[in-house]
Structure 1
Amino acid sequence: MASARIKKGDTVVVLSGKDKGVSGTVQKVMPKQGKVLVEGVNVMTRHRKPSQANPQGGIDRIPAPLALAKVAVADPKDGKPTRVRFEEKDGKKVRIAVKSGETIDG
């Protein structure tokens, strides 16, 4: 797998699908599956029958993973989607937003 362009805690923008244009924070990255879990995006509803653990039952809203190709890192300057490149600064590998040239990691 290539270097991690999207990491946990990044703000990303959804590029396609029903949530196109929505931005959110990455909760979990699953590189082997090529998926990412984004807060408040791709929320699925699950109807639960009453059980011992949940006597009320009801509808649960849970976020489902998205394909990594459907999200892009949000530019720190304007919040629009951008690609990511890597540079070495002070002997440390950092991620740079291609659009604005600003560093993504501190």
Structure 2
Amino acid sequence: MAAAKIKKGDQVIVLSGKDKGKTGTVTQSMPKDGKVVVAGVNVAVRHTKPSQANPQGGLDRFEAPMHVSKVAHVTADGKPTRVRFETQDGKKVRVAVKTGDKIDG
């Protein structure tokens, strides 16, 4: 597998789908599945029957994973950018393609 270009804690923007244009922070990254979970984006609803554990039942809302290709890293001015890897001072760092700014550290 290639190294993850989007990691937990990154600020991203949604590029396609029902939440297109929304921004949020990555709360979970699943590189093996190629998916990410973004706070406040792609909220799914499950109807739950009353049970002993949850006597009220009702609606269960949660952020569902989305494919990593649907999100892009956000620059300081709020625009999407791709991410590339460069070697600086003997370390592999992520760099924003649009601005050339270092993302890590």
TM-score category of the 2 structures, normalised to the smaller one: over 0.9
Following superposition, the deviation at residue 69 of structure 1 comes to 0.8
Q: Within 2, Cα distance between the matches of 1:73 and 1:79?
A: 9
3-state SS, counterpart of residue 5 of structure 2: coil
What does residue 17 of structure 2 align with? Answer: 17
Q: Within 2, Cα distance between the matches of 1:88 and 1:2?
A: 16
3-state SS, counterpart of residue 69 of structure 1: helix
Q: Within 1, Cα distance between the matches of 2:14 and 2:65?
A: 12
Following superposition, the deviation at residue 60 of structure 1 comes to 1.1
What does residue 67 of structure 1 align with? Answer: 67
Amino acid at match of 1:57: G
What RMSD in Å do the two structures reach over aligned CA positions?
0.9
Q: Within 1, Cα distance between the matches of 2:61 and 2:50?
A: 16
Alignment of 1:28 onto 2:28: yes
Following superposition, the deviation at residue 50 of structure 1 comes to 0.8
Counting aligned pairs with the same residue, the percent is: 70
Q: Within 2, Cα distance between the matches of 1:98 and 1:85?
A: 6
Deviations 1:44-68 (A, max 9, x none): 1111111111111111111111011
Amino acid at match of 2:77: D
Q: Within 1, Cα distance between the matches of 2:92 and 2:78?
A: 23
Alignment of 1:82 onto 2:84: no
Gaps of 5+ in 1: none
Aligned length: 105
Following superposition, the deviation at residue 92 of structure 1 comes to 1.4
What does residue 39 of structure 1 align with? Answer: 39
Gaps of 5+ in 2: none
What does residue 3 of structure 1 align with? Answer: 3
Q: Within 1, Cα distance between the matches of 2:58 and 2:79?
A: 37
